Structure 1
Amino acid sequence: MAKRAKSRLEIAAEYGISARTLSRWLKNKKIQISNGLVTVKEQELIYKVFGEPDKNNQNDSKSPSELN
């Protein structure tokens, strides 16, 4: 569970994807997040939609369909 605000790059790294890919995922799911750091509440929404990132495979690329 999220405990602090994070950058988009940090969240993308948790999923093993680029920040640009994360932006595409969010756009495809029509999730809008504020500019700047991603709040704890926004992170919870991201993790709910895409699932909690696998801590063991943070460098593996995954498509959104593989996360659902």
Structure 2
Amino acid sequence: MSAGKTRDLLAQEYGVSRPTFYSWLKRAGIVLPARVLLSPSEVELVYIKLGKPNLKTDHTPSRAGR
């Protein structure tokens, strides 16, 4: 099993700010413990609920449609 991760690292993996990531967690009904490091099973829960982040994708917002 992989090592735990912080919320900051997960937000970076999804390419969003920490406040946005917290909003996503709340909207998905994910309640995590207050400690800094999340366990591998908690990280997996986030991945299941939000989908695994595509770590090879450039998360820079597109200028199309502006």
Q: Which TM-score band applies after superposition, normalised by the shorter structure?
A: 0.7 to 0.9
User: Are 1:53 and 2:48 matched, yes or no?
Assistant: no
Give the structure 2 partner of residue 19 of structure 1: 18
* Residue deviations 1:4-24 (CA, integer Å, cap 9, x gap): 111111000000011111110
Which 4+ residue blocks in structure 1 deviate beyond 6 angstroms? none
Q: List runs of 5+ in structure 1 lacking aligned partners.
A: 63-68
Give the structure 2 partner of residue 4 of structure 1: 3
Which has more strand, going by share of residues? Answer: 2
* Letter of the 1:49 counterpart: K
Task: Give the superposed CA RMSD.
Answer: 1.9
In the aligned structure 2, how far is the partner of 1:43 from the partner of 1:34? 12
User: Are 1:28 and 2:27 matched, yes or no?
Assistant: yes
User: What SS is found at the alignment partner of 2:26?
Assistant: helix
In the aligned structure 2, how far is the partner of 1:48 from the partner of 1:61? 24
In the aligned structure 2, how far is the partner of 1:19 from the partner of 1:40? 19
Q: List runs of 5+ in structure 2 lacking aligned partners.
A: 62-66
Fraction of identical pairs, as percent: 32
Which has more helix, going by share of residues? Answer: 1
Q: Quick one: structure 1 residues 23 and 3, their matched pair in 2 at CA, closer, same or farther if it must change by over 3 Å? A: same
For normalisation by structure 2, the TM-score amounts to 0.79
